[in-house]
Structure formats: structure tokens, C-alpha cells
Structure 1
Amino acid sequence: MTHNTKIDFIYLSEQDMIRAGVTDMPSCVDTMEEMFGLLYHGDYRMAGPNNDSHGAMVTFPEHSPFPTMPKPTADRRMMAMPAYLGGNFCTAGVKWYGSNIANRDKGLPRSILMFTLNDPDTGAPLAHMSANLLSAYRTGAIPGVGARHLARKDSRVIGLLGPGVMGKTSVAAFIAVCPQIDTIKIKARGQRSLDDFLTWIGVTFPQIVNVQVVDTLEEVVRGSDLVTYCSSGEVGDPNAYPIVKREWVKPGAFLAMPAACNIDAGMEQADVRKVVDNTGLYQAWFHELPKPAHHCVPVIGVRFMDMIAEGSLQPEQVEDIGKIIAGDAPGRLNDEEIILMSVGGMPVEDVAWGTVVYRNAIERGIGIKLNLWETPVLS
């Protein structure tokens, strides 16, 4: 019996990814919603003993005898994020990236990412693709999925901290699901990112007729129907993370936090609903990290885990968005309800969106075909 042992795969550059639809935010939101359904029903696997780990990270010591070893500067890490996703996707993959906030001084993104998509049966590569846009859009789409199910339908005002890449994609996702949005309030760290965002919003979403640049977190939050914090910074002291105070929050607001965030005692109260993208992800983080875990991973869902450990929050008070999407838990209960959602980021999201973009590329003849081998030398 003869076997066809030839393996080809495609390489997709960033421009190839754009041509294959990686920046189609409405489609990305729909894809992430489908992914959450599979997540809720268990048709997935990620790393770690509970199959919910964010990934495996390489970190660097403060003091090393090796002069060429990287120093642990801000946001310095290298990480692999593997996953399998079933359903209509039925693919596996891994995102690999290096991150260093000092990259910005070199004109580079903070993180440089690549994604490899694989056949889950043989492990053969299907595609190797540029993943900065892939990752940015799947991350931004998650607040959009949350807003579709948890924001007020008449939401008009977005409050945004951090108008960088994540800020842009989160705003795009909000607009994809809340068509009445016409106002954005923005707090930025630097003038360059602010100017770039303002140009982008004017060209991309002309329906935004009111853009306000504000100076404080209170101004970002107060009066906003949708709030998202998307700024990066030093990790370690939660008191230095951007905070949300209950007195600032409008009744009926939906807050989606894909970056560093802290909350005051008022926001910790039980009448503020607390939603996460996947409880297992935060449990895995909590298991892996020193305590309090929020000192190590700054997303607010990790604070929820610390609160459970402290006894100030009951486990059942942390809700999964997948359960809400599946209809096994209620969405927004009333127009006054305040809902806070944590967005941690998961490799199943990369697999889902990467699979859609790969299939688009194959259908449209996009990418460079590369040969792994005709017949393996060792088998």
C-alpha cells in the first residue's frame, strides 16, 4: 500500500492576512461567539493540567551570569499558546510571541506574533501566518461578544482608556454590535497614539460624531454606556493599575476589560455582575501564580479569583459568558444593571479566527505555498 506523504502548507504575511479577511470585525465577533459555544460544551483543549491554561511563558531573571540573556524589562516575555478547537473548526494551533515594551522605541509593536495552524489528526502544518492582526482582532472581538449579550441595546457612549491597537479593535467590536454608538471619550498616554486613533476613527467610523479627549479615568467612565481599559504598563502593584470606582459608573453600564484593571470596594459588591470569558482560564492562572495572583496577572478576572480565596466572593458569583451565550444563564436582567467582564485572552480564539482566515485564503488563492517534504527522511 502506498501513501501520499507529501506535505505542503501556506505562509500568510500580514498583507495576505488582510486580503484573507483578518480585519473583518463583524465576522470575527460571530466567530468568537461560535467559539464560546464550543468552549461551554467542552469541545476544546488548551494547555495545562486542567486544559485551560493561557500558555507557557519564558521569563528572565533580574540577575544572570550570562551577559547576552535578555533583562526582565517591562512586558518582556516569550510565550507559546497552544490549543485545539472542535466543532466546525476541528483544528489545532499554537501562537508564539515575544514581547518587550521597549520595542516601541524601535518602531516595532510591543509584541511580535506568529501562528501555526495544524491538522489535529496528523499534526501536519496547514499554515504559518503573521499573527499580530489575528491576535488583535480576536482580542477586541471578545468585548463585542460581551456587549452583544450584556450591554444595553441603546448604548451610545464608549469610554476608552488606551487608544492603541487593542483600543481600536475593542471599539470596532462595540460598534459592530451596538449600532447606535455615536460618542467616544478617550484617555491616552501619548499624543502620537491619540492622533493616530483620531485619524483612524474619523476614516473608519464616520458615524462617531462626538469625540472627546479626557484627562482622567473618572471622565472615561462617568456617563459611558460601554467602558474598556486597553492600556499596557508595569505589572506587580494592583494599586498602580487603572481603577474603576463605583461612584463613577453609570447605571446600566457594561465594562469589558482586556488589560490591566483594578476595582474599588463598591465595584466588588454582589450587585455588580462579574463575568469572565472562561472561568477555567482564571482558575489555571490562580493555580500557577504566586498569591495574591492579581499582582502577577493584571486582568480583573484574576482579582475575582483572589476575592474567592479571601472569601469576599462566592465562586457561583463569577459567570461564564459561554453559559450566557448558550442560554443556560440570563443575559442583561434590567436596564440599571452594572456588568463587569474580564477578558483574559485564550489560544482557542487564535485557533478559531486563524482557521476562518486560513480557509478564506485557500478559497481565494492567497498566500505562498511551501513544501515541508515530499517524503520524510525519517519516518
Structure 2
Amino acid sequence: MNDTKIDFLYLNEEDMIKAGVKEMGRCVEAMEEMFKLLKVGDYRMGGANGNSHGVMVTFPEKSTFDNMPLDGPDRRFMAMPAYLGGKFDMAGMKWYGSNAENRKKGLPRSILMLILNDKDTGAPVAYMSANVLSAYRTGAVPGVGVKYFAREDSKAVGIIGPGVMSRTAFAATMAVRPGIETVKIKGRSSKSINSFVKYLNEEYPQLKDIHVVDTEEEAVRGCDIVHIATSSATTDIYEYPYIKEEWIKKGAVLCCPAAARFDDDFILNRARTVTDNIKLYEAWEEEMDFPAYATIPIPAVHCMDLIAEKKMSRDNIDDLGDILMKKIPVHRKKDEIVIYSVGGMPVEDIAWGTIVYKNAVERGIGTKLNLWDVPNMA
């Protein structure tokens, strides 16, 4: 007789922390392994192309229905499904609602949950709080880039946009380049800047210098690593943070998980563009109206637009997975400047979520919930 009983593990945010979701060093390792699986093709994401970032529900500017939400900053729902093979061998989906107005209620802009599913039956394995998980996997992906592209003796980091993304990206940076001594911070509000400075002082007392600066130029000059993670309104690319080539230190790596803009001449002729997964950007180019960069403000999306305009060749873009698999060199030339685009993918959530889930099982953390003993409608 078949055992039809299905239980799954519920992990709230405190459970996730106890299960090691903030173990950044291990998270960077998990992302590195995930990138290798992407390169050999042992994964699937949404859409007919198998590489979609996810499916988004947005709202109209006006509605005849009083109850319907209206468009606003970061006002959306999103489903991000994926399967990841290898040692993870897990399917699942991150689901979230987002609204910038949440901050007035003391809530994060986005509230995220991750469900993990058995790859064969589809039965739930775990249902977990995913805000911290998502933040750490988001920071760990730049961490992989820093591990490979940044100078071994890197000393200075520039932060443009001192929010959650930059906080975890910096944690990943310290995990792979512990010799960092100086941090320069460019932010928009004193609240976000002061919060970031407090975080640095509490978590990294070994830092020698923390400077708050007024311009992007000051944040970039002299830095070995720059994290650019501001929230910018889309449609007008000239509102994106602009980084001039002459500000950038030779050999620097610029991590771009959000809006950033560089001169086309620099992108086409001197910078090295690296993507976390080139197929994700090709999928965006396929799914979005041209120019896709007006909707998705990440630099590699602009490169896809340049390719569509026949101004740039696909061969001018390197994929991180090819570097990890030793198909192409870590560095193509001395003192190259790397613009590393980070798009964010549900396979990242599956990778880190699976590890944290297994930790929770081993440590007896979480609450077991029952779906059914015998399904009523089998």
C-alpha cells in the first residue's frame, strides 16, 4: 500500500537564521556551485525559454474597480519558479508581493516566501520565510564575482546605494577579501547612510576608514571593488547612476545588481562585460519591449540592446559560468575593468534554500505541518 501522507517543514524567519541562512561564506560557495550547474544545463527556470526571471503581476494606473490596487513604486506580485539539479536536486518557487509604501508601516518593501517541492511528485517539502534568504543569495552572487575578479590585495570598497543589497554584497566581499580596510559610501538619505555605517562598525570593527561621500565619483575613485545598488525609476536611462570611465581604478570590478550606466564607447572598446547568466539577459531581451534597458536597468541588458542594434557582438560578453568551468580565463588582460551584471534568478533561491532546509532538518529546527494523510480527491 502506498504511503500517501505528506508532511512539510515550515520555517519562519527566526528558524531560518538558526538554520544558518546568514552563513555568507557557505552561501557564496553554494552560488558558485549553482553557476557551474547552469553552465552544464542542469537547471530549468520559467518560460518557454527555460531562463525567465519570473512572472509578474502589475496593476493599472487607473481602475473602475475600487478594490483593485493601483500602480505605484515597486507595486507588484511575482512568481519565480525553478528546478536546480546536482547536489541540490530540488524544484520550488519564490513568491512575493512588493510595495514601496510598506516602509511607512515598518515592513520591508517586499515580503517573500519560498516553497521547495519534491521534483517527482510536486509535494511540498518546505515552506520558508525568504526575505533574509533572498538578501543573502543576492549578496553572495556579487561575492562570487569579487572572489574571481577583484585583486587579491584589494583594500577599498565603494558603496553606491547603502541598502540591503549592498549590505549583503559587502558581507560577501569580506568573506572572500578579508583584507578590506576602507569603505566609501554614497547614499541619498541620512537614515540609510547612518544605518549602513552602524552596520559596518558593529560587524566589521577591523575596518580602518569609513567615509561618507557626496558624489558617485568620490565613491568610485581609488576603489578596487564598487557595489552599485540603488533603486531607480525606469523608462529614463539618464536617471540611472552614471559612472565615468576616468573615475574607475585600473583592475577594479564593479558589481551591478541594479541600475547603472556607462558610456557606450567604454563598454564597447575597453570594459570587460561579465554576466551571471547570459541566457537570463537574452530572455529579457526576448520578453521585453525594445530597448529592454529602459525596463531592466542592469548594464548587461543594455549590452543586449547594443547587440540587437548590431553595435556589439555576443562574443564581447563573458559568462561567469564559463570562467568557473575554466573555459575562458579569469582575466583576459592586465588591469582590466570588469562590469559584472547580476540579474537575480530563482535557481539561487533554490540552491541556498535547499541547504538551509537540510540544515534545519539536521538541527531539528522548524515546525512540521501536515498537508494530508490521505488525499481527499486522489
TM tier, smaller: over 0.9
Corresponding position of 1:363: 362
CA distance in 2: counterparts of 1:40 and 1:270, whole angstroms: 26
Corresponding position of 1:138: 137
CA distance in 1: counterparts of 2:375 and 2:224, whole angstroms: 57
CA distance in 1: counterparts of 2:175 and 2:341, whole angstroms: 19
1:96-127 deviations in Å (ceiling 9; x for gaps): 01111121122111111000011111111111
Percent identity of equivalent pairs: 54
**What is the root-mean-square deviation of aligned Cα atoms in Å?**
1.0
Matched, 1:4 2:3: yes
Q: TM-score, normalised by structure 1?
A: 0.98
Question: CA shift at 1:207, angstroms?
Answer: 1.8
Question: CA shift at 1:56, angstroms?
Answer: 0.3
Q: Note if contact 2:73-2:100 (Cα within 8 Å) is conserved in structure 1.
A: yes
Q: Note if contact 1:75-1:233 (Cα within 8 Å) is conserved in structure 2.
A: no
Corresponding position of 1:286: 285
Stretches of structure 2 that go unaligned for 5 or more consecutive residues are none
How many residues are paired up? Answer: 378
Question: CA shift at 1:359, angstroms?
Answer: 0.2
CA distance in 2: counterparts of 1:12 and 1:266, whole angstroms: 49
Amino acid at match of 1:94: M
Corresponding position of 1:115: 114
CA distance in 2: counterparts of 1:301 and 1:368, whole angstroms: 42
Corresponding position of 1:104: 103
Q: Note if contact 1:161-1:217 (Cα within 8 Å) is conserved in structure 2.
A: yes
Q: Note if contact 1:223-1:249 (Cα within 8 Å) is conserved in structure 2.
A: yes
CA distance in 2: counterparts of 1:170 and 1:321, whole angstroms: 17
Q: Note if contact 1:151-1:332 (Cα within 8 Å) is conserved in structure 2.
A: no
CA distance in 2: counterparts of 1:257 and 1:77, whole angstroms: 22
Corresponding position of 1:314: 313
Q: Note if contact 1:74-1:233 (Cα within 8 Å) is conserved in structure 2.
A: no
Q: What are the within-5 Å matches in structure 2 for residues 143-154 of structure 1?
A: 143-154=142-153
Question: CA shift at 1:334, angstroms?
Answer: 4.4
Corresponding position of 1:174: 173
Amino acid at match of 2:111: I
CA distance in 1: counterparts of 2:325 and 2:187, whole angstroms: 36
Amino acid at match of 1:64: S
CA distance in 1: counterparts of 2:124 and 2:268, whole angstroms: 48
Corresponding position of 2:47: 48
1:217-238 deviations in Å (ceiling 9; x for gaps): 1111111100111111312111
Corresponding position of 2:73: 74
Corresponding position of 1:239: 238
Amino acid at match of 2:298: V
Corresponding position of 2:88: 89
Corresponding position of 2:37: 38
Q: Note if contact 1:308-1:314 (Cα within 8 Å) is conserved in structure 2.
A: yes
Amino acid at match of 1:272: A
Question: CA shift at 1:137, angstroms?
Answer: 0.4
CA distance in 2: counterparts of 1:50 and 1:296, whole angstroms: 20
CA distance in 1: counterparts of 2:59 and 2:41, whole angstroms: 34
Question: CA shift at 1:266, angstroms?
Answer: 4.1
Q: Note if contact 2:96-2:111 (Cα within 8 Å) is conserved in structure 1.
A: yes
Q: Note if contact 1:244-1:267 (Cα within 8 Å) is conserved in structure 2.
A: no
Stretches of structure 1 that go unaligned for 5 or more consecutive residues are none
Q: TM-score, normalised by structure 2?
A: 0.98
CA distance in 1: counterparts of 2:178 and 2:265, whole angstroms: 30
CA distance in 2: counterparts of 1:211 and 1:277, whole angstroms: 29
Question: CA shift at 1:46, angstroms?
Answer: 0.2
Matched, 1:339 2:338: yes
Corresponding position of 1:191: 190
Corresponding position of 1:272: 271
Q: Which moved more, 1:98-107 or 1:82-91?
A: 98-107
